[in-house]
Amino acid sequence: MDEKETWGKPVERRGRLTAVLALATLISAFGSSFQYGYNVAVINSPAPFMQQFYNTTYVERNGQPMEENFLTLLWSLSVSMYPLGGFFGSLMVAPLVNKLGRKGTLLFNNVFSIVPAVMMGVSEIAKSYEIVIVARFIVGICAGLSSNVVPMYLGELAPKNLRGALGIIPQLFITIGILCAQVLGIRHILGNSTGWTLMLGLTGIPAVLELLLLPFFPESPRYMLIQRGDEETAQRALQRLRGWEDVEEELSEMRLEDQSEKAEGRLSVLNLLSQPSLRWQLVSIVVMNMGQQLSGVNAIYYYADSIYASAGVKQNDIQYVTVGTGAVNVFMTIAAVFIVEASGRRLLLLIGFGICCTACVLLTAALSLQNSVFWMPYISIICVIIYVVGHAIGPSPIPYVVTTEMFRQSARPAAFMVAGSVHWLSNFTVGLVFPFMERGLGPYSFIIFSVICLLTLVYIWLVVPETKNKTFLEICQMFASRNNVEIKLGDGDLPLKEKRPRATAL
C-alpha cells in the first residue's frame, strides 16, 4: 500500500529544488560536465591551423615537411587520445569515489583539467605538438571521471521526485560545452591561426571555479551514512539540501538500504559481475551505453563538417550550420529536463532511439540521392538535425540517470566504472572506425547505426522497467523477479511498502 493511502501516516513529502541543491548541481555540472562537451568539439574548427602548426614545428626540427601519412597519424592521435583518456578515467571512478567521496573526487579531478589546459595553452610557445597529444589524453581522464561522478553525485543529492531532472543536468552542460566550443571555433573569434591555443586552454576556467566554490556544498548524504557511517553529517547535509529540519524519512530509507547491503559489503567490479541479483541491471547499462555511443552520435560530432560538406553546404557556411545544430541539441536537452519526470525514463529512451533509427535511414537515402536531386542536400541537413533532436531527448542523457537508479550504494561505483568503460571504449571505436566506414561504405555507413538504434530500442522495450519516482530499493526489487532472486532488506521492522519474503544473503 502506498504511503499516501496508509491510515494514520502523513502524506509523503515531495522534495523541492532548494538554493543549495540548485547551486551544487550547477557548480558541479559546469565545473566538470561542461568540460567533457567542450573538449569533444574544441579541435574540430581549428583543425587546419593545428595541423599547420604540427607541420611547421616538424619542418623547424627536421628541415623538411612532414609526410602526409605521419600528419594523419598525429592528428588521429590528437582526436583519439581524448576518448582513450576517458576510458582510463572511467577505470579510476570506483576507487576514487569510495576513498574520496563524490564531491572529493570532483575536486581532485580538477587537476586533470587545469594541468592540460596550461599545457595546451603554451604548446605553440613551446613548439611541441607532443604536448597537445599528451594534454588531450590527460583532459580525457578528467572527462572520464566527470561523466560518471557528476551523475552519481547529483543522483544521490536529489530527492526521488527530482532525480531524473537533475540527472539530465550534466548532459545539458555537456551540450552547452559543445555549443560554446563551436561558437568560439568560428573563424573570426578563436578558430584561427592565432586563437586556437587560447581556445584549447580555456577548458581550465570551469575547473578553477569548481575548485573554489564546490567545497562550500555538502558531500553526498548517502555516501556519508552508508559508506562512512557518519549519520550526523548525513543528516546535516540532508537538512541543507531539503530546506527543512525533519529528514528522518530519508534517513530511514538510507538505513534500510544500509541493512540490506551489509551482507554484501562494498562490491568490486569482479563482485558486481558475479552477483545474480544485479545481472540484468548490469546487462542493461552495458546495452544502453553501447547503444548511446555506437548509434553514431560521435560520428555526427567528430565529422560534422565533412557530413555537411558532402550534403552540399558551402565551406564558409559549415561552421554556422554546425553551431545551429549545437543550439538545437542544447534546446532539446533543456526540454528533456522538464519532461523526464512526467514522461519517465523508459519512454524517452524508446522515442529517442526510434527517432535516431529513422533519421539514419533517411540520411542514408538523402546522401545517396543528393547528386541526382537538387534539393536533397537540404533533406540531409534536416535528417542530421532530427537525429540530434532524438539523441538529445533520450539516448544522450537518460543512461546516466538510469545507471544511478538501478544500483544501490555498494554497487553504484563499480557499476559506473563498467558503464563508463563501455561508454568511452565505444566512443573511441566510433572515432577510429567511422572514417574507414565512410570511405568504404559511403552513405550506407548510417545503416549500421540505424540497426544498432533498433536493437537497443528492442532491448529497452523488453527488459528495462520505468524507474521514475522509485527509491533505489524499490528499483532493486523490480529486477528481483527477472534475476530470479529475493532481496534481503534487513532484520528490523520494515515499512509496509518495503516488506517482502525474507531470503538468505545473496
pLDDT in tens, 266-276: 566 666 677 77
Note the pLDDT of residue 495: 41
Nearest to 53 by CA among 179, 199, 185, 193: 193
Q: What is the pLDDT of residue 455?
A: 95
The whole-number pLDDT of residue 31 equals: 92
Rounded to whole angstroms, the Cα distance separating 488 from 506 reads 8
In 3D space, the residue among 140, 138, 142, 163 whose CA is nearest the CA of residue 151 turns out to be: 163
CA 392 to chain centre: 12
Check: CB of residue 311 under 8 Å from CB of residue 130. no
| pLDDT surpasses 70 at 247 | yes
Q: Pick from 51-55, 225-229, 454-458, 490-494 the range whose average pLDDT is largest.
A: 454-458
Least confident of 11-15, 16-20, 288-292, 372-376: 11-15
pLDDT digit string, tens, across residues 385-395 = 899 899 999 89
- All cell numbers assigned to 158: 536529489
Show Cβ contacts of residue 353 under 8 Å, excluding neighbours closer than 6 positions: 291, 295, 390, 394, 395, 453, 454, 456, 457, 460
The whole-number pLDDT of residue 493 equals 38
Which of the four pLDDT bands, split at 50, 70 and 90, describes residue 8? very low
Question: DSSP per residue over 69-126, as a string?
Answer: HHHHHHHHHHHHHHHHHHHHHHHTHHHHHHHHHHHHHHHHHTHHHHHHHHHHHTHHHH
3-state secondary structure string, 385-417?
HHHHHHHHHCCCCHHHHHHHHHCCCCCHHHHHH
User: How far from each other are the two terminal CA atoms of the chain, in whole angstroms?
Assistant: 26
Question: What's the CA gap between 184 and 199, in Å, rounded?
Answer: 7
User: pLDDT exceeding 70 applies to what percent of the chain?
Assistant: 88
Region 316-341 average pLDDT: 85
How far, in Å, CA of 303 to CA of 438, rounded?
Answer: 10
Average pLDDT rounded to a whole number, residues 104-126: 92
Grid cell digits, residue 234: 548525513
What is the domain class of 16-217 according to CATH? mainly alpha
Q: Residue 258's pLDDT band (boundaries 50, 70, 90)?
A: confident
Would you say the CATH fold of 271-487 matches that of 16-217?
yes
Amino acid identity of residue 142, one-letter, is C
Check if the beta carbon of residue 321 is closer than 8 Å to that of residue 45.
no
Tell me: pLDDT of 6 over 60: no
CA 115/CA 435 separation, integer angstroms: 31
Residue 93 has a pLDDT of 87
**pTM score of the predicted model:** 0.83
pLDDT grade for 2, boundaries at 50, 70 and 90: very low
Q: What is the pLDDT of residue 304?
A: 65
pLDDT at 139 exceeding the cut of 90? yes
pLDDT for 137: 94
d(CA 267, CA 270): 8
What CATH fold (topology level) applies to the domain 271-487?
Growth Hormone; Chain: A; (1.20.1250)
Do the beta carbons of residue 157 and residue 15 sit within 8 Å?
no
Q: Where are the domains of the chain?
A: 16-217, 271-487
Least confident span in 12-16, 424-428, 466-470: 12-16
pLDDT greater than 70 at residue 26: yes
Task: Please say if the pLDDT value at position 73 is more than 90.
Answer: no
Q: Is the pLDDT of residue 500 over 50?
A: no
Q: What is the DSSP letter of 218?
A: P
Q: What is the pLDDT of residue 10?
A: 47
Average pLDDT over residues 21-27: 94
pLDDT digits over 183-226, tens only?
998 888 887 888 888 999 999 999 999 999 999 999 999 888 88
Q: Which residue would you say has higher pLDDT here, 75 or 209?
A: 209
* DSSP secondary structure code for residue 5 in this structure: G
pLDDT, average across residues 287-303: 81
| Average pLDDT over the chain, rounded to an integer | 82
pLDDT for residue 504: 33
